[in-house]
Structure 1
Amino acid sequence: MGTAARTEDRQDERTAVVTALRLGWSMADAYHHAQTADLVADPHRPATAPAKLSNLTEMPGRQRLGMYLDGVDVALAQIAPLTPSGRVLPSTDAARRAAGADREPLLLALDGLNVDVLRWTMATNHRVGVAYRLGRSLADTVRRSDAAELVQRFGGRQVQLSRWLDELASVLPPYSAAVVRRSLSAWAGAVGRATVGDPGEAGLAELARELRNQGDLWQDVLTGGLHPRDLLDEENWAVVARNVVIRDRRLVAQAARGIFWPVLAPLLVVLLAVVGVSAAAAAGSPTTRAAVALVGLGAGLTAIWRSISTPTLSVAAEVNRPLLESELVAQMSARIDRPLAAARRAGRAGRQRPPSDVGSKYVARVSGVDLP
């Protein structure tokens, strides 16, 4: 019963952490929306039915803000069962009342709501609070921006994000923290190389265009909407198998060299001595003595193998598991980094595109000699 209760509590914490991450992302989106969207309804707009049902991007700014705040209310209600009874939930009422033509009261109300939620989540469960901060910071990191803002966002923030991912790895969906951390490191490296003008890297403009798409993938992976292992194809699995076999072969060779002289060599010397004495003491023809020696040698080698194989295979299984995990994470990260690969392709295409004033390749250019 105790084990079942602990398992249920663990599942509740996992759910709360993922919900808090979504909550932080929604809060960051709500604040950005309040900064940029038109929140005042046009009273002169005719009330005509649209040709099709409205999409999210066609929703009026005020209603979209209400949708973000609805998401905050739902997330808080889902996390509430983890809190002690009697604690009051943060309320979005002040932010809803402040929505209007003047943005300043709304932004102040949203920031106040953010502080209330941060205090409430940190007091509820430390990892729930960290997840809220992680979601909010990731959303701000992948916000659409220009090249200058992109450099600022990867000026060191990814270090703290990686620390939070490490802290939450055990309660986030499987592989998600490791995959996003590796992908985040790849993006930080790409931005750093693009900043110094590395010709082999995508430009800052291409990276900025694809960053939001990368953020959507990070959010899906961290919240369990997308399992990165589902993106692996046959080629990825073949690469994983090949790399694991290569690593296993190296480990076996290193282990054999390590135990041969201190362990195997003395055992073999003792075995050969015992077999030699037994064969010499055996009565009968030389053929009989040779048979006795072979039987003794086989029995001794079998005993040595049995004494060594069980612990060796057990250790190999323990060592092989993290090797397999690391190879899977590498391949899953490569699949998740599709927007980064797209930015690099766009950068290469832009560098390879000929200038617009080259004219036709079938007509010679006018040279200085041809000019009057």
Structure 2
Amino acid sequence: MSTVHRRGAGHEPAVADAADGPATGGTYGGRAGETHGGPAVDPVGRRGDDAVGRLRDERGCVATALRLGWWMADAYHHAQTADLSTPQRRPGGPPVKLTNLTEMSGRRRLRMYLDGIDVALAQIAELTGTGSTAPSAAAVRAATPAEATAMAGAMTVAGATTVPPAGAAPAAGATMVAEVAALLLALDDLNVDVLRWAMATNPRVGLAYRLGRSLADTVRHGEAEQVPWRFAGRQHEISRWLDDLASVLPPYSAAVVRRSLRAWADAVTRARSGDPAEAGLDELARELRNQGDRWRNVLTGGLHPRDLLDEEDYAVVARNVIIRDRKLAVQAARGIFWPVLVPLLVVLFAVVGVSAAAAAGSPATRAAVALVGLGAGLTAVWRTVSGPALAVAGEVNRPLLEGELTVRMARRVDGPLADARAAARARRQGHPDQVPGGSKYVAGLSPADLP
């Protein structure tokens, strides 16, 4: 039996997943040329020998595979922890308002996950255009416990007042357990089939599928004691996958998520050691899923981290780049002064001196000749040195600017981590009702303000 089966449902509580549905499109998830405004494409989304079109299709496959891995992990966790005994439609007439995502029954929620898996597989098969048949969730749908069996199992667990025939209730409960186990096995078989098919289609697509699945398991809702275990070395593997997929992920997304993941791992380590300046494991566990949803949106192109920056962030980036440019200019001047500038200046002064001495006329005329020669020589030296220096500075300044932008974007993406720290500070100061991230210009409630 695989590790995922041995783990069982008792290690994670039965809590609701994030209130969002499976993404069927997105910035990078659609057909090439439609979401990016490019030219028309053929029926499988390719543009012949166009390298840009192929890269765009690969990006779409990678983003879709990442979502596919995320939803596969959510589907397995939902099958482990959700109550599949409730009927698909509530008895007692229509609801007062339209049913929301979080109000779905466990069976409908599972169907939603399976629909998202089928849609993602169809999109990947269309974008790759290899002609191979993609896996299907039909076997998982067939293995879903029947509604009658689920209801009988629920009556057994709840201890229904109507006494069934002798031996019927235990048999119904055992049947329900067996059908749930069969459902989990079918999901794991589908996971293996998808992984095998994705790796054979494109190794990057398979790697993106593994990345989405691992991220979903890392940010799963759970107890505070489970948080250190999830960051026990897993972030290193995820960071390595992000490096491998950086060229086909949205701009800045891999570097930003990698830095944010490192910040969370450091925060978990400090919280576990009892650092009073860090948020506790309880606060981190509450915000971890929100952080995971933001990571997923950044990696799939739904959220560009640069959109989170404001004027203050750009001012900080400009200041830091100017400071670093000044330091680099000073170091470069020191490096080229003796081996380059000093010999050129010695030759220049020698030529100017000889020219002034050989010039005919009064001393004023000789001084004018010397000044003109000195100016022309300094101009030539500046042109000789400044051209390559400015070209090198431009090449060096670009990664410096991108590095500073990455730092600021990662801080903005780490909003849930900042909320966890704010909640911990409010708790330690005796204000548990203070809203994290509230305005610093608004005073908190005092006893006199209360009714």
TM-score normalised by length of structure 2: 0.77
Partner of 1:343: 420
Structure 2 counterpart of 1:142, from 200, 219, 224: 219
TM alignment of 1:12-91, pairs within 5 A: 12-42=57-87, 45-81=90-126, 82-85=128-131, 87-91=132-136
Relative to its length, the structure with more helix (as a share) is: 1
Asked whether the equivalents of residues 17 and 127 of structure 1 are also in contact (C-alpha less than 8 Å), the reply is yes
* Amino acid across the alignment from 1:63: R
Q: Note if 1:333 corresponds to 2:410.
A: yes
Partner of 1:256: 333
Q: Per-residue deviation at 1:354? A: 7.9
Q: Per-residue deviation at 1:40? A: 2.3
Partner of 1:364: none
Structure 2 counterpart of 1:200, from 274, 277, 293: 277
Task: Give the 3 Å change call, closer, same or farther, for CA 4–280 of structure 1 in structure 2.
Answer: farther
Asked whether the equivalents of residues 39 and 62 of structure 1 are also in contact (C-alpha less than 8 Å), the reply is yes
CA distance in structure 2 between the partners assigned to 1:336 and 1:45 by the alignment? 39
Asked whether the equivalents of residues 87 and 105 of structure 2 are also in contact (C-alpha less than 8 Å), the reply is no
Asked whether the equivalents of residues 355 and 370 of structure 2 are also in contact (C-alpha less than 8 Å), the reply is yes
SS at match of 1:170: helix
Q: Note if 1:233 corresponds to 2:310.
A: yes
Partner of 1:161: 238
Partner of 2:27: none
CA distance in structure 1 between the partners assigned to 2:338 and 2:60 by the alignment? 53
Task: Give the 3 Å change call, closer, same or farther, for CA 4–237 of structure 1 in structure 2.
Answer: farther
Q: Note if 1:109 corresponds to 2:189.
A: no
Structure 2 counterpart of 1:312, from 383, 386, 389: 389
CA distance in structure 1 between the partners assigned to 2:66 and 2:308 by the alignment? 23
Please list the CA deviations of residues 76-122 of structure 1 after superposition, one character each: whole Å capped at 9, or x if unmatched.
Answer: 1111131522x221110111111113311111100000000000001
Asked whether the equivalents of residues 83 and 124 of structure 1 are also in contact (C-alpha less than 8 Å), the reply is no
Structure 1 counterpart of 2:141, from 80, 83, 96: 96
Task: Give the 3 Å change call, closer, same or farther, for CA 43–223 of structure 1 in structure 2.
Answer: closer
Task: Give the 3 Å change call, closer, same or farther, for CA 242–70 of structure 1 in structure 2.
Answer: same
Structure 2 counterpart of 1:174, from 231, 238, 251: 251
Q: Per-residue deviation at 1:44? A: 10
SS at match of 1:169: helix
Task: Give the 3 Å change call, closer, same or farther, for CA 138–354 of structure 1 in structure 2.
Answer: closer
Alignment gaps of 5+ in structure 2:
1-46, 151-175, 433-446
SS at match of 2:199: helix
CA distance in structure 2 between the partners assigned to 1:134 and 1:213 by the alignment? 17
- The 10-residue stretch of structure 1 (2-11 or 314-323) with the greater mean CA deviation from structure 2: 2-11
Please list the CA deviations of residues 48-76 of structure 1 after superposition, one character each: whole Å capped at 9, or x if unmatched.
Answer: 11111111001111111111111111111
CA distance in structure 2 between the partners assigned to 1:78 and 1:91 by the alignment? 13
CA distance in structure 1 between the partners assigned to 2:361 and 2:88 by the alignment? 116
CA distance in structure 1 between the partners assigned to 2:220 and 2:423 by the alignment? 20
TM-score normalised by length of structure 1: 0.93
Q: Per-residue deviation at 1:147? A: 1.5
Task: Give the 3 Å change call, closer, same or farther, for CA 23–277 of structure 1 in structure 2.
Answer: same
CA distance in structure 2 between the partners assigned to 1:44 and 1:52 by the alignment? 14
Asked whether the equivalents of residues 33 and 65 of structure 1 are also in contact (C-alpha less than 8 Å), the reply is yes
Structure 2 counterpart of 1:129, from 206, 225, 250: 206
CA distance in structure 1 between the partners assigned to 2:431 and 2:279 by the alignment? 17
Asked whether the equivalents of residues 254 and 299 of structure 2 are also in contact (C-alpha less than 8 Å), the reply is yes
Q: Note if 1:215 corresponds to 2:260.
A: no
Asked whether the equivalents of residues 88 and 107 of structure 2 are also in contact (C-alpha less than 8 Å), the reply is no
CA distance in structure 2 between the partners assigned to 1:254 and 1:265 by the alignment? 16
SS at match of 2:225: helix
- The 10-residue stretch of structure 1 (115-124 or 48-57) with the greater mean CA deviation from structure 2: 48-57
Alignment gaps of 5+ in structure 1:
356-360, 362-372
* Amino acid across the alignment from 2:94: A
Q: Per-residue deviation at 1:41? A: 3.2
Task: Give the 3 Å change call, closer, same or farther, for CA 71–45 of structure 1 in structure 2.
Answer: closer
Asked whether the equivalents of residues 204 and 245 of structure 2 are also in contact (C-alpha less than 8 Å), the reply is yes
CA distance in structure 2 between the partners assigned to 1:158 and 1:44 by the alignment? 41
- Higher relative CO (Cα under 8 Å, sequence separation at least 6) belongs to 1
Q: Per-residue deviation at 1:351? A: 1.4
Q: Which consecutive aligned stretches of 4+ in structure 1 deviate over 3 angstroms post-superposition? A: 41-45
CA distance in structure 2 between the partners assigned to 1:208 and 1:18 by the alignment? 26
Q: Note if 1:274 corresponds to 2:351.
A: yes
